[in-house]
A and B are shown apart, each in its own frame.
Chain A
Amino acid sequence: MDLRSGPGRGFPATFSIERSASIELLRQRTDWIKVRTGNGREGWVHRAQLERTLTPSGAAVAIAGPQPEARTEHRWEVSLGTGDFGGANIVAVSGAYAVTPSLQARADVQHLLGNYSNGWLGTAGIAHVFAPDWRVSPFVGVGGGVLTVKPKATLVQAEDRTDTTAYAALGVRGFLTNRFLLQGEYRSYVVFTSRDDNEEIDEWTVAFTYFF
Chain B
Amino acid sequence: MKFLLKKELSFYLNNPIGYIVVLLFSIFANFLFVKDIFVTGSASMRPFFEILPWLLLIFIPALTMRMISEERRTNTLEVLLTLPISELNIVISKYLSALIICIIALLLTTALPMSMYFLTGDVGGKLYLPEIIVSYLGSIAVASSFISISLFFSALTKNQIIAFLTSVVVIFFLVIFSTDFAGNVLPTFLQTALNYLSPVTQFASFIRGVIDVRSVFYFLSFTAVFLILTIIDLERRA
A binds B: no
| B residues in contact (CB < 8 Å) with A | none
| A residues in contact (CB < 8 Å) with B | none
